[in-house]
Amino acid sequence: MSIRNARKKIPLWVTTVALALGTMSCAGGGAGGSEQDGGEAADAASSGQRPNIVWVLTDDLSSDLVNYMPHVKAMQKEGTSFSNYTVTNSLCCPSRSSIYTGKFPHNTGVFTNTPPDGGFDTFRGKGNEDKTFATALKGQGYRTAMMGKYLNGYEPDMTVGGQENYVPPGWDEWAVAGNGYKEYDYTLNENGKTVDYGHDPKDYLTDVVNKKGQDFIEDSVKDKKPFVLDISTFAPHGPATAATQDEGKFQDLKLPKPPAFDKTPGDAPEWLKDKKAFTPQQVKQITKTHRKRVRSVQAVDRMIGDLQGKLKKEGVLDNTVFAFASDNGFHMGQYRLMPGKQTAFDTDVNVPLIVTGPGVKQGVTTDAIASNIDICPTFTELGGGTPDARVDGRSLVPLLKGQTPEDWPQAALVEHHGPNHSAKDPDKPRKGSGNPPTYGALRTDKYTYVEYADGSHEYYDRAKDPDMLHNTYGALSEATRKQLAASLKELQECEGSKECTAAARGD
């Protein structure tokens, strides 16, 4: 029997007041996020001229899992895929911080999942909560909803700034868990009221937010308002618990073994050197983890189909931009690493981004550089606002229309603080999974350059070496090395879209 103990409900008037006072979001023009005033923005939005937005963000989903998600594969045929979509950090909280704000970790101040250089407390303490796509779109007349996973360190019953059961600014509907990794026996903060869920099949978290998301769509249509729905799943993050109906599936699924499986790159950096070949037991363990991850994303894929079905039933599918992505990737035996993340390899930083909807080119893949700092300005522009010049990213709207501006960025930046030894971090690397030191990395459509705090370097010519097995930094000329180091430094210090675009182009 599940338990739903309603605790104290806190009204959302504080959120409304904060927005009315004119806090800056990732849109220009103050709280309204548009060159129109707030009333005109709301009227234009409610007239149906602006698309709804559904954003499904998964946790630790690597590109290979898309093969087991038929609704996601259908999205690839119906929309635009980004082959060079790179996350600013292969770790949950810093990546999500960049998604919400459109800023690099060096500008959000969030590099890890825990204080002092990461986590919810750092995100909020740096003033980021008033500058998200939620505050932007709410100011533009949208109904906004956040469901599932927010930021590491957020708890449903926490008191922040005197507010019990804290709900951040910008969100009309809020149904967020703290520790929801097990998919059962968790607590949701539902609009300022904490609700406990148990271990019945109906309490499975992905299914719960699926239902709540559909209800939000229905209510928004009834209110005749455009909406943005952010559903952030915990799946397939470990322990990768499957829904009851998926528990017996994929029992004999074979483990993919790409060229980098159980191999280390030539001239590997210090933290990766001297890795021993896997034992049969380790391969068996990786295979088991792979099957669990495949099972856990089945509910996510069904949720996508259900949300699309609900949009169609309500008559708004043709006016809804639907986007799917992951906060970071995940390696599964590549480079002789047990399952994990936090490296600069493509397994960890190059993740799926697929978008469908009105005006979006169908069945195409763009190789233009894109990053999670681009999500906030993209949503802002889709909602009719003008992205704030102080965000680091660029709107992807031109790319969705099949156009690549001449001044488009040519490199993405990855920023990592490590090694990670925090006992409080659910992403603390397990034995053998890889725990790199602090690094900065440049990723273009052709190469990856990595500079470590311990003095190690990597350079992979991915045009010739797509599996990143040959570190050729030692063969580079001194002039090329200096140029790469200067380009990385410029990106690590940039602020604002104009400056960061110039740095990403080497201008």
Catalytic residue list? 92
Alpha carbon 350 to its chain's center: 11
Report yes or no: 336 and 260 within 8 Å, Cβ to Cβ.
no
Find tokens 């980098």 and name the residue.
Answer: 260
A 10 A CB-CB count for 457 gives 18
List the strands of the sheet with 439-443, edge to edge.
412-416, 439-443, 447-452, 457-461
Report yes or no: 165 and 176 within 8 Å, Cβ to Cβ.
no
C-alpha span between 127 and 483 (Å, rounded): 34
Alpha carbon 193 to its chain's center: 26
Q: Which tokens in the block code for residue 30? A: 């103050």
Report yes or no: 69 and 301 within 8 Å, Cβ to Cβ.
yes
* 481, containing H or E segment: helix 478-493
For residue 180, give Cα distances in angstroms to 183, 208, 299.
5, 12, 15
CA quadruple 234, 236, 237, 243: dihedral positive or negative?
positive
Half-sphere exposure of 392 (CA within 13 A, CB side): 29
C-alpha span between 165 and 162 (Å, rounded): 10
Q: Which tokens in the block code for residue 398? A: 């031109």
C-alpha closest to that of 286 among 266, 311, 263, 256 = 256
C-alpha closest to that of 92 among 123, 136, 53, 55 = 123
Q: Are strands 173-177 and 439-443 parallel, antiparallel or unpaired?
A: unpaired
Contacts of 34 (CB under 8 A, 6+ apart): 27, 28, 41, 139, 140, 384, 385, 386
C-alpha span between 405 and 399 (Å, rounded): 8
The H-assigned helical ranges of 102-178 are 105-108, 119-125, 133-139
What are the phi and psi torsion angles at 82 (to 5°)? -115, 110
C-alpha span between 478 and 149 (Å, rounded): 45
Find tokens 């047990």 and name the residue.
Answer: 338
User: Angle, to 10 degrees, between the axis of helix 497-505 and the axis of helix 478-493?
Assistant: 170
CA quadruple 265, 268, 271, 275: dihedral positive or negative?
positive
Q: From its phi and psi, is residue 335 left (phi > 0), alpha (psi between -120 and 50) or beta?
A: left
